[in-house]
Amino acid sequence: MDEPSYFQSALSNFVTDAACGGAVRHLVDIGYTLDQIVDRLDYPAPRAKVQRIMMDYLYESRVLLREEPSGELFAAKEVFVQEQDAFGRRSMRKTMADQNGQINAATVSVSSFGLNDCKMNRSVADFEGPRQQVILWKESVYDPKRDGKLTELLHRKCEQNGEIYSYVSCSFGKPESDQNGQYSGNEQSEPGGVRATTEDIPSCLNNRQRDYIKGIRWDRPVLYHRLNQRMLEIIGKLYEAGGYGGAAFFAISREKVIIMQK
């Protein structure tokens, strides 16, 4: 892509994000599908740009992971909190929040007069979460006779670990390959570089579930989705219909449950 085209694309993305990025992220949070989000936006944003914002947010909020869950799930994230003193002067305070949104005591104060006048006040030496990246999983294979109904098993383990530390592998899309049959996609690829296979999703799913899956860019053979209520129901229906095989991950108890396709 030449420089003018790259600049125009970047500017267009910036304008779209400024105009409707907040609305898109809010609608994602409350469970809207891509098509529902596009229909409800006041700003006439192209579907592809809305999808880009949605995908960025799903990865940023760790609803979707590109790699198998790791110790990174436990790492706190930087957030900025606005404060106002007794004289009405406002300042931004940088602090750390865990995955539940809880603010840690460790903070960095940032003066409202600009970054060049930043006042740093570290109350601890390090803000980083646990450095361990690899989780040593305790693997087991799901057995209906022993474990009962799949959705009930996954629900129990989600309650034990917390939804934000529970994931399931998903293989709903397939990247395009080059002439040699090699995977040609990458993290920056455009939607046109991905060949969705959602047409093969069994009819056991309702329209909203199918629309949710179709709205996501499955730009890798396998992605890992947070095991929220929606995905729990989707996986349960697909498994019963013989359309799912994969693994569920529960980071607190370090359990990996292999789910064999019927």
Q: Calculate the CA dihedral of residues 183, 65, 71, 164 and round it to 10 degrees.
A: -160
Distance from C-alpha of 79 to C-alpha of 107, rounded to nearest angstrom: 10
Residue for token pair 């409202």 = 112
Residue 128 placed within a domain: no
Percent above pLDDT 90 for the chain: 47
Least confident of 133-137, 165-169, 234-238: 133-137
- The answer, yes or no, to whether residue 127 has pLDDT greater than 50, is no
Whether residue 242 sits in one domain with residue 146: yes
102 and 14 in a common domain: no
CB proximity list for 233: less than 8 A, separation 6 or greater: 151, 209
**Which of these, 226, 231, 221, 219, lies nearest to 55 by C-alpha position?**
219
The answer on 113 and 20 residing in a single domain is no
**pTM tops 0.85, yes or no:** no
Asked if residue 159 is part of any domain, the answer here is yes
Tell me if 125 is assigned to some domain. Answer: no
Distance CA 231, CA 11 (A): 35
Domain that holds residue 54: 3-61
162-210 pLDDT tens trace: 999 999 999 987 655 544 444 444 443 344 444 445 556 678 899 999 9
pLDDT value for 150: 97
Q: Are residues 101 and 185 in the same domain?
A: no
* Region of 256 on the Ramachandran plot (φ > 0 left; ψ -120 to 50 alpha; else beta): beta
